[in-house]
Structure formats: structure tokens, C-alpha cells
Structure 1
Amino acid sequence: MINLSNYSCLLWDFDGVLMDSMPVRDEGFRHVLASYPQEQVAELMAYHRVNGGLSRYVKFRYFFEEIRKEPVTEEQVQGMATDFSVVMKRLLINKTLLINDSLDFVRRRYRDVPMHIVSGSDGVELNMICLSLDLAQYFVSIHGSPTPKTQLVREVLAANGYDPKRTVLIGDSINDYQAATANGIDFIGYNNAEFDHNGYNYIRSFSTIP
């Protein structure tokens, strides 16, 4: 059985781990890219679902540079990200989307061990959502894009003097695993059966975690 008491710091992904937000994220991409060919948007959606931990900035660049094979400026990416954020702020401030299995653990243990959010979601937007849903009180800090997740983890470790050997990232995407590995910390998968089936440390339900 996994025992999170062995760690002196817990880092959490947000989308898919603390909030079931993927359908809303899907809608945001479809809304922003509504004027482009549906087959190209479908290709972007497939990339988005596999790479849940990557930011919208990376995904919009991927859509133009890799799918459409055309250049895109930072101003264009920022404009699309802003339009995307409008949709997210309208739809994600919704307590029914919260994943209570993981959040019940957070509420139970946040006084015992420092916890931080490191997410591919936009950092300003994420802080606003967490404040609106009364989640911010449980976390020492909340971080998001456009800073890449690998860098976010590195900065949290350095700013707080955490020992990488006693720090773990809990996530649901391969990008979370890569960010953990790059920083020499442990990774535990959650809410993604691919991790469960492929030999990773995995939590099926936090109700089993002391």
C-alpha cells in the first residue's frame, strides 16, 4: 500500500486529479478553434487528451506548427489563450466538477504536510478558480502555465528547500511523470488506468490512503 506519510511535501496536478475538467477544456479548444477544419481540430483534441499536463499555449502552437504546418506569433497564441480563459472562467467555477476522492484527502491532511499545485492550466486563471471554490486555503502555493511544469516543480523545490527524495508529484498524465522524473522526485499516478496497468505507483482511491 502507498503511504504518503513518507513524504514531507506533496505536489498535485489539478486537471483530472483535483477537478474533472477535461470535458470543459475540450469545449474551450473547440470554441476557440471553431473556424478551422473539424478534422484538424480533432487531431488537436487527440494530442490534448494524451498530453493533459501541457499548457494551452503549447497546444495552440502545436495546432498551427505541427497540424496546420504554418507559423503562429506569440500575439496570436496569447489571444487564443485569452479567449480560452474566458470560457474556462465561466464553466470551471463549478463545485460539481471537483474530485472529492482526492480532495477529501487534501482536506484531511493539509495541516500535516505542505501541499502545492503545479498545473498546466494558466496560473492566474487557476488561482482565481481555486479561490472561488474555496480550495486555495489547502495549498501553500498554486502554480500554472505559461511556465512549463518541469520548471514549476524545480522552482517549488528551490523556493521551499524541499528534499527531492521526500517529495512526490501526484498526476494523471505522462507530462506529470516527466516533470517529476526531470526533478528527481517520485511520481504517483491517479485517475488514469494506463498508469495502473503499466507498473507505475498508482492510487486507485484516496480512501485507502492513511
Structure 2
Amino acid sequence: MSLNQYKIIFWDFDGVIKDSVHIKTKAYLDLFPKADAVIKGKIKDHHLRNGGISRFVKIPLYLEWNEIEVSDENISKYLAEFANIVTNAVIQSDWIPGVEAVISQKLKNQVFVIVTGTPQNEIESIVEKLNIADKFDKIFGSPAEKSEVIKSSLIHYPINPKDALMIGDSESDFKAAYQNGIDFLFCDSGEESDFSKSFLGNRIKDFRSYL
């Protein structure tokens, strides 16, 4: 597989551009220090299986699992605490090896789109601080749904699905690609999940083989 064969590439962020999946996994667990091992295991497994899904969906669910009232006040409180934990840590985390060079080698006629579960204003700020905003034609964060972003982007540019690729690290990324009939490249972050164990398609650990 050559990345140059695609007219549009959709990029997840955590685990694909930045090695930050473990940061968010730990942050979700740290939100609930009183949770027992069973609940913590359940949270970790759910997060890893659904890496591309927004914290706005996950945190209310995790509150429920911890028998904490799922109120607007509690949701806002836990969202703010989560954001405080992860933003700087994500910026300071390691790049996925080779990804900076691959992004910088983008062809003139290619379209690069970030599509992530990170909130819109947060991902825009992170990308700006990393000095890679000029490499991406569009940046989509939560509450945008990945499948809808792919669908609308293919119409907007317009680009045939056979000329499109999604690079992600989770089952939800794969589903967004599959629902739109585009190719999927699994960036395996090394975090064990049922999806990682069962996925049989194209898989990479990092981008050094594309240099």
C-alpha cells in the first residue's frame, strides 16, 4: 500500500499522529480513583475499543458505571477535569515514528483531513501548537461524527471512495471507513483490544516504512 495512491486521507489523531492513547486511557481511569478493578477494566476496554468516540459520549457512560449521577453539572465537572489532564500531555507526547515526515511529504493534489473524537476547539489548538495546521485541509473534532465527516468530504471535494483512505487505531475508525466504502489502515498502538486481536486488514506500528 502506498499513501500516494490516495487523493484524500482521513487521519485520526491519538495513536496515529501522536502516541497519546495511553495518556487518555490513564486520564479516564484517574477520573474515578474509587472505582474497583472490575469497573476500571471495563472503562479501559471500552475506551480502547472505541478510541474514536468522543469523551462527551464516554464520560456520561462511565459516570453511570460508577453509580455517579449523570447530571449536566457532573458531566461538565468531569469533562473539565479530563481536559485539564490531557491537553498539555498530548502536546508533549511522542510523535508516532515517521508521521511528521509522511505528513510533510503530502502531495500537492492530496487532501488531508483530521477527524478525531477530541473536541473541535481543543484539537484546533493542539494542531496549531504542534505547527502542523498548514498540512491539513480540514480539521474535524467532536461533536462531528467520523462517518458523516467522511461522507460529506467525499461529496464536497468530490472524490471517489476508492481513492480515499482512513488511518485509525480503533474499531470505531474502521467502522467509519467501512460505512463509506473506503480503505482502512490500522495503526496498531500496542494497546490490547478485541479489535486489535481480530483485525485482519492492513496494519502498521508506525510510518517509518513509508519514508
Please say whether Structure 1 and Structure 2 have the same fold, judged by a TM-score greater than 0.5.
yes
State how far apart, in whole Å, the 2-side matches of 1:122 and 1:182 are: 23
- Offset of residue 183 of structure 1: 1.6
Q: String of CA shifts for 1:57-114, please: whole Å, max 9, x gaps.
A: 221122134x3467623453233222211222232221x5211322211111253411
- Matched residue pairs, number? 206
State how far apart, in whole Å, the 2-side matches of 1:93 and 1:172 are: 18
For structure 1, the 5+ residue unaligned runs are none
- Offset of residue 10 of structure 1: 0.6
Match of 2:50 in 1: 51
Q: String of CA shifts for 1:147-178, please: whole Å, max 9, x gaps.
A: 23222322333333232221110111111100
Aligned CA distance change for structure 1 residues 197 and 158 (closer, same or farther; 3 Å): same
Aligned CA distance change for structure 1 residues 119 and 167 (closer, same or farther; 3 Å): same
Match of 1:3 in 2: 2
| Matching of residue 89 in structure 1 with residue 90 in structure 2 | no
Aligned-CA RMSD value: 2.5
State how far apart, in whole Å, the 2-side matches of 1:77 and 1:19 are: 26
Match of 2:204 in 1: 203
Tell me which amino acid in the other structure corresponds to 1:90. N
Tell me which amino acid in the other structure corresponds to 2:85. V
Match of 2:181 in 1: 184
- Which of 122, 127, 132 matches 2:129? 132
Match of 1:105 in 2: 102
- Offset of residue 33 of structure 1: 2.5
- Offset of residue 191 of structure 1: 2.3
Identity %: 27
Tell me which amino acid in the other structure corresponds to 2:29. R
For structure 2, the 5+ residue unaligned runs are none
